[in-house]
């Protein structure tokens, strides 16, 4: 961490938000959406099947 003359901490935007830029975030989103769709399909088949 760098500090300026007044003692405030100076960070880059990536350090400030501690962002992870990469395929793991996209994969997590894709897996979670696919899992939600699968669970909704199972619930639909159990309760609304005629």
Q: What is the pLDDT along the chain (50 residues), one digit of tens a residue?
A: 677 878 888 887 777 777 666 778 889 999 999 999 999 999 999 998 86
Q: Residue 42 is encoded by which pair of tokens?
A: 């199972």
| Residues paired with residue 27 on neighbouring β-strands, in sequence order | none
Structure confidence at residue 19 (pLDDT): 67
Which pLDDT score is estimated for 33? Answer: 98
Cα(34)–Cα(42) distance, integer angstroms: 12
User: What is the reported pLDDT for 35?
Assistant: 98
pTM: 0.55
């Amino acid at each position: 961490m760098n500090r300026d003359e007044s003692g405030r901490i100076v960070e880059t935007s990536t350090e400030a938000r501690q962002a992870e830029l990469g395929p793991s975030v996209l994969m997590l989103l894709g897996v979670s959406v696919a899992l939600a769709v699968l669970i909704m399909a199972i619930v639909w088949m159990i309760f609304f099947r005629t």
